Structure 1
Amino acid sequence: MKELGVISTLPINRFTDNGAYLALSDGNELLIPKRYLSGEEKEGDLKEVFIYTDSEDRPVAVTDKPLALLDQFAVMEVKDVTSIGAFLDWGLEKDLFLPNSEMRQPVSPGDKVLVVVCVDHRTSRLIAVSKYEDFILSDTSGFKVGEEVSALIFDLSDLGYKVLVNGFYEGLIYANEVFKPLEVGDTVRAFIKKIREDNKIDLIITPIGRQKFDEGADHIYDKLKEDGFIPLTDKSSPEEIKEAFGMSKKHFKQCIGQLYRKKMIVIKEDGIYKV
């Protein structure tokens, strides 16, 4: 069934007491349970649905959307662990099964795990695979230093945060360059710092170069426009600055220096004032 694991828009063929049957591309029908219908549908109407298998491994259509579709990555929380594998919360009524054979390392309830959604061709049902290295793309030649990307944090290392870049590439954000709380499962805006020889990507979450100062300065000035005053100066501690603006003291000093040179702020002993 080519519709398995993806979002499809299908016509309603007929209604039953249990719901409605949708027409599939191969000529077969598929049930969408009554609880996913508004009661105003008619035969021939189109429904946007996600198709997976229910608790009895029968294909079923639902209007709920999962965290990831077929062949997509997501960080999912482990809900239960059994002798044959783990069950993950992916936003649907039936949890997603992660078999032991597809598990990168043992997991426990509450863990957050990076997985890719696949079809188990033996059972024709959707499963999770946490051996993510088999699905990561390695050709990073299309990226350039300074480019803005999306970074999904999926693990921690001794150096920092392992991330999935734009959905398919592996990268790293160094812990000593992060000045705000980050957690596994967060998706953040990041910028390419370096392409390594092993084709992995080093990232930074503040823009590189002049843009870095412009955006940081805008962030500080927006706060000044709200309150007219910030109880920080270039002599404030790095901890106070990090808590207030999520940036390093060096970055903060560069930003307020830029605002000062533009005569947009006044720096006094007790803090910064908007001109």
Structure 2
Amino acid sequence: MNQDLGTVVTAMITDENDKAYFVQKSGVTYRLDKSETPEALEIGDTVRGFLYESMNKEKRMTTILPKSQVGHFGWGVVTNVRKDLGVFVDIGLSDKEMVVSLDELSEIKSLWPKKGDQLMISLRVDEKDRIWGELADEHVFRSLARIPKDEEEWKNKEITGIVYRLKMVGTFMLTEDYYIGFIHPTEREVEPRLGETVTGRVIGVSPHGMLNVSLKPRAHEALEEDAQMILTLLQQSPTNSLPYYDKSDPEEIRNYFGISKAQFKRAVGRLMKEKLAYQEDGFTKLRKK
């Protein structure tokens, strides 16, 4: 196995042509494009760079060092997904993307990353000299994370982060400023996928040094959604009215609107406050301008 692949080394220039230098490390020759060196080099000079094998199986050196290396973790962007192989991640190389094997991903393929999502990976080289992306584990994220202190400072604060771990107990995310957030299954409508960027609000700070996060809308935001739904139904009705009002049967309201009677009353109340609707003769009606 070539232990230099996926690492940063210093190697000696042994040859050159019009477009590239050729450097040697541990008896193996690598191509280094001259466009990457700010000044002319000569045979016998040494140069520092990252060693890898391109998609065309050409051994290359680059002086543009990726953050993801063997033993070093960095964020990469998902560029493609293959259900039979895994996901391809761009770590900054012009002619090579790293594959995170399906063996490291969830058995539920709907939770796999999509194009544009981000993963924190390091690199590993197998016995056939193939370079793979390797997901950062919990220890890595814990070592990066900051500890939130004042709970009151965080309460109801909106935060954005990247999902890095999926477990039965919930979803873990790393915020933009390196705090770990935990999303309990009861605090989400849909389970986020690995690598997805999500925005939620802090509902507490756990004793384990994590932010407890909810992806559900606040009560007033949910009310707005209900009110908008009822307004849309009123606008689409041929009579601009619906045969439901504050005293309608709760089950009838739930069967028709999919919400509780209390939600219905709050939503209609909001529409009436905004002078968008009114109730009359057992109907909720659209107030025309």
Query: Normalising by structure 2, what TM-score?
Result: 0.50
Cα distance in 1 for residues equivalent to 2:79 and 2:262: 36
State yes or no: 1:169 paired with 2:202. Answer: no
Q: Which residue of 1 aligns with 2:98?
A: 96
Q: Deviations over 1:180-234 (max 9, x none)?
A: x4441443321111111111121112454xxx41574277438836972587878
Q: Which residue of 1 aligns with 2:155?
A: 145
Contact 1:171–1:202 under 8 Å retained in 2 = yes
Change over 3 Å in CA distance of 1:154–1:74 after alignment to 2: farther
Cα distance in 2 for residues equivalent to 1:249 and 1:153: 36
Extract unaligned runs of 5+ from structure 2.
1-6, 9-17, 21-32, 42-49
Aligned identity (percent) is: 12
Q: Which residue of 2 aligns with 1:32?
A: none
Cα distance in 1 for residues equivalent to 2:278 and 2:166: 41
Change over 3 Å in CA distance of 1:216–1:187 after alignment to 2: farther
Q: Deviations over 1:5-36 (max 9, x none)?
A: 9xxxxxxxxx859xx852346877xxxxxxxx
Cα RMSD after superposing both structures? 5.4
State yes or no: 1:130 paired with 2:126. Answer: no
State yes or no: 1:72 paired with 2:75. Answer: yes
State yes or no: 1:178 paired with 2:188. Answer: yes
Cα distance in 1 for residues equivalent to 2:182 and 2:209: 12
SS of corresponding position for 2:139: helix
Contact 1:213–1:255 under 8 Å retained in 2 = no
Amino acid paired to 1:228:
Q
> How many pairs are equivalent?
218
Q: Which residue of 2 aligns with 1:265?
A: 277
Change over 3 Å in CA distance of 1:149–1:178 after alignment to 2: same
Amino acid paired to 2:35:
L
Q: Deviations over 1:132-191 (max 9, x none)?
A: 431340322376111111143444444443333337333222333434x44414433211
Change over 3 Å in CA distance of 1:241–1:76 after alignment to 2: farther
Change over 3 Å in CA distance of 1:194–1:115 after alignment to 2: same
Extract unaligned runs of 5+ from structure 1.
6-14, 29-50, 243-247
Cα distance in 2 for residues equivalent to 1:201 and 1:260: 38
State yes or no: 1:58 paired with 2:64. Answer: no
Contact 2:173–2:180 under 8 Å retained in 1 = yes
Amino acid paired to 2:75:
Q
State yes or no: 1:190 paired with 2:192. Answer: no
Alpha-carbon shift at residue 239 of structure 1 (Å): 9.7
Q: Which residue of 2 aligns with 1:213?
A: 220
Cα distance in 2 for residues equivalent to 1:25 and 1:219: 61
Cα distance in 1 for residues equivalent to 2:139 and 2:191: 23
Computing the radius of gyration over CA atoms, which structure comes out larger, 1 or 2?
2
State yes or no: 1:23 paired with 2:36. Answer: yes
Q: Which residue of 2 aligns with 1:237?
A: 254
Cα distance in 2 for residues equivalent to 1:71 and 1:134: 11
SS of corresponding position for 1:184: coil
Change over 3 Å in CA distance of 1:112–1:77 after alignment to 2: farther
SS of corresponding position for 2:181: strand
Cα distance in 1 for residues equivalent to 2:79 and 2:138: 13
Change over 3 Å in CA distance of 1:166–1:257 after alignment to 2: farther
Cα distance in 2 for residues equivalent to 1:273 and 1:240: 16
Alpha-carbon shift at residue 240 of structure 1 (Å): 5.1
State yes or no: 1:202 paired with 2:212. Answer: yes
Contact 1:153–1:162 under 8 Å retained in 2 = yes
